[in-house]
A and B are shown apart, each in its own frame.
Chain A
């Protein structure tokens, strides 16, 4: 309680230094941001491809166990990231079933973990989007002589805004997640000479994992900088999602 003045100063000083780190594109901060975007971006692109295929298969066809599959997908939408991290770790560790691939503590391992986390969300939300397309769209496409594939493509086209929202939701989850990538990525930075200066350059350290380690080590400006970038990213994602939703309504 000793002096709220000094604690405010501490906070402001941290924020000012953080903004400075971002504005002058500090190589460490930039590399961490790059790894985050690369890992979450690739994971979500792969997830989206799988999810759209899966959502189409479920929405456009009847088969045994369909309801069970839907329930499984809905349940996995809320998988705890740390648990996913542990399972991926157990598979990738040197003693694990695919340990020989030597993927543990690489960006590839992080992509796998985030792929598993994002796919159910994108699938689940996409199914809802597809099934909310009015029946008459399906029927019209069919009566116009479309094959099953034509009908499906037409419906998917109508549902595109919902599917984009689904992908954004998956991306939002991926960039906010820390438990899985911390376990399988290892939070590693390399020391490299960049332009003659020794620099920490992220290998598997992301915005979220960096915030945890920088805070614990008392590097508050760095932690705040990563926090700001992460907030801007989620804001951006939500902004697009809102814009898409507005368009789909209007």
Chain B
């Protein structure tokens, strides 16, 4: 009898084994199918792009070719700043363009310095950034062509309500920075810098240059990351920082955000040094033949067109206009 029970047990174990094997093979099969499927799709798309160039249309199936041409969506790689991306502006512009061109816009959000570097490495078709000096260098070095103005907004100086550096309402950004540095040296204030060669960081350095002060000391914190990270740090430590107005507008209604706008930019009648112009540049196809120059130019035409400029003008966050179109 015990033998019978053993056999029964073994059957049970085998049944369990079988079930396991079955389940495993189903899983494996599914994975294989997904991989094969992806492979086929990949192959199909390369074949169809190639067919336009090399292969003559297949004579046997002209109907297929005419009725349903397999259209591969072209891709435009845009290296841009975190401010255009985080502000949500591209979520308005890009879908309209994608519909027009039947293409996909792939956005690579980085600081301006990094966005330009991405394009210099040939990993982008187009840059949409804000640091005029660096943009001009990009074009002069032969990496970019057809630079156009798109829009502008401005920077503002944020700080804690207690305002230990007493900069509230100042009309000179340089004067405000001088006060922050003095309060920082005295141990009463801290400043948080992007420190990432972004457009905002470039502007910050320009303002320090205007003060004649080289910021140094433990009060001057360089974060090396994006606007959001820098605002988080400045808010946590109740320090001063320079921010683009767009990001500030998005952040000011956030739960727990306590920094206040202390010095205005030119959009609201403040210091002109705080103006923040955005430019768009196509990557030079002579430098990188692989870039999608045609699509890049179409995009530039689109954002500088009446339609594109209208979209920029009407874009609102929390009821406020973020960007002011100025394409010429």
Q: List the interface of chain A (C-beta within 8 A of B).
A: 1-2, 93-95, 102, 104-105, 186-193, 198, 200, 203, 205, 213, 216-218
Contacts and interface: CB of A to CB of B under 8 A. Distances in A.
B220 interface: yes
Given A2-B290, A105-B233, A217-B196, A188 B114 contact: no
Interface stretch (B63-71, B168-176, B221-229): B221-229
Interface string B211-253: 0001111101111110001000101111000000000000000
A217 B218 contact: no
Which interface class (under 10, 10 to 19, 20 to 34, 35 or more) fits B? 20 to 34
Given A2-B288, A217-B197, A188 B222 contact: yes
Given A188-B224, A217-B196, 17 more contacts: A1-B290, A2-B122, A93-B236, A94-B236, A105-B233, A186-B233, A188-B221, A189-B221, A190-B221, A190-B222, A191-B215, A192-B217, A203-B218, A216-B114, A216-B196, A218-B118, A218-B120
A187 B224 contact: yes
B144 interface: no
B117 A217 contact: yes
B217 A218 contact: no
B130 interface: no
A217 B220 contact: no
A230 B196 CA distance: 22
Interface string B164-182: 0000000000000000000
B277 interface: no
Interface in B48-95: none
B195 interface: yes
Contacts of A200: 222
A185 B216 CA distance: 20
Contacts of B238: 94
B217 to A, nearest CB: 7
Contact of B229 (A2, A186, A203): A186
B203 interface: no
B224 A189 contact: yes
Contacts of B217: 190-192
Contacts of A203: 218, 221
Given A2-B290, A217-B113, A187 B220 contact: no
A187 B216 contact: no
A48 to B, nearest CB: 30
A104 B236 CA distance: 8
B289 interface: yes
A198 B214 contact: yes
